[in-house]
Amino acid sequence: MSAVELIGVIKRYGGAPALEIERLAVEKREFFVIVGPSGSGKTTLLRILAGLVRADAGRVLLGGADAHGVPPHERGIGFVFQGMALWPHLTVRGNIALGLRRSLPGGAERRERIESVARELAIEPFLDRKPTLLSGGERQRVALARALAPRPRLLLLDEPFSDLDARLRRVIARLVRRLHDRHETTTLLITHDRTDAHMLADRIAVLRLGRVVACGAPEQLHFDPGNGFTAEFLTDAAILMGEAHMDGTVDTALGRLPLAEPAEGPMRVAVRPDEITLGEGEVKGRVVACEFAGESWRCRIAVGATEVAALNSDQLATGAEVRLLPPSAPRRQLGEPS
């Protein structure tokens, strides 16, 4: 039995569909990440699961039970909003206690639950402070503590790291994953950041215009994205037009590449930046731009009218001519997002 299942779920705003989910299932204790650009329906999906928004059609199952008509506070869900939504007039203790009003209305057990989750998230020294006196990372931990205190069966995270700096978002992201593993809960995180998705997810679903266009393990979607949108969104791959031949090859701007399956006629294939070697090979190109990416330089290379990205250990001058060695691994034909 899945922890979450959406079947034929549709939500419209002003007549236009914001979400159209044919079927999406999340397994118990799975860390499931939903990615997609702004306006793809990510937040709408989470709010439907939480009972904050009602779908126009379809079924939402939580633990196998139909959630229709079940109010938000009876769904066993913890929700961390993008803006954290902490009450500024309450202390940290008071904010965490909000999630326990129904399950533990008072007494020693309630105090122990608050202090326990505060210790776990390293915010115990701040229990009597107001949120305005805390740093961004500390406030994020308070929001997590409030969601986790009732021990929900399902934790929903709406872009919880978006207001944090790059270093802190990695720290909090790893903490979230550790808490997920420790409590064996089911977690749904939505984000537009593919690094967060790759680092945290057991599986990733890619949303585009309200529809799931790809779903699978991070490594599966990295090597076999299935369609051009997913390849570009998750890996910054170049999408190459080519002519396929029944001998198992396809002619592209990078030369003749092997195919995983024989085909014939026009097709599209993806080539990731990490698959191209610069400085050798028969393909000639010109450097359009070269940007430092931390551990390497990310270079944009024009090969005729086609532009590809490649990684290099050294900076290359804009306009410099280079040689490229294309990938040897077989390509798969890219389909169109459904």
87's tokens: 């009450």
- Please list the residues that pair with 240 across neighbouring strands: 269
**Domain coordinates of the chain in residue numbers?**
4-223, 228-325
pLDDT above 70 for 105: no
> What is the Cα–Cα distance from 62 to 58, expressed in whole angstroms?
13
In single-letter form, the type of residue at position 114 comes to I
Residues in CB range of 199: below 8 A, 6 or more apart: 170, 173, 174, 177
Summarised one tens digit per residue, pLDDT across range 227-276 is 999 999 998 899 999 999 999 999 999 999 999 998 999 999 999 999 99
Q: Give the fold, CATH level 3, of 228-325.
A: OB fold (Dihydrolipoamide Acetyltransferase, E2P) (2.40.50)
pTM value is 0.90
Residues in CB range of 231: below 8 A, 6 or more apart: 225, 237, 239, 270, 272, 334
pLDDT above 90 for 308: yes
Contact predicate 45/121, CB 8 Å: no
pLDDT above 70 for 338: no
Look up tokens 């399950």; give the residue.
103
* Angle at the Cα of 169 from the Cα atoms of 165 and 172, rounded to 5 degrees: 140
Query: How high is the mean pLDDT of the chain?
Result: 91
Contact predicate 21/69, CB 8 Å: no
pLDDT bracket for residue 55 (50, 70, 90): very high
Same fold, 4-223 and 228-325: no
Domain covering 4-223 in this structure, CATH number: 3.40.50.300
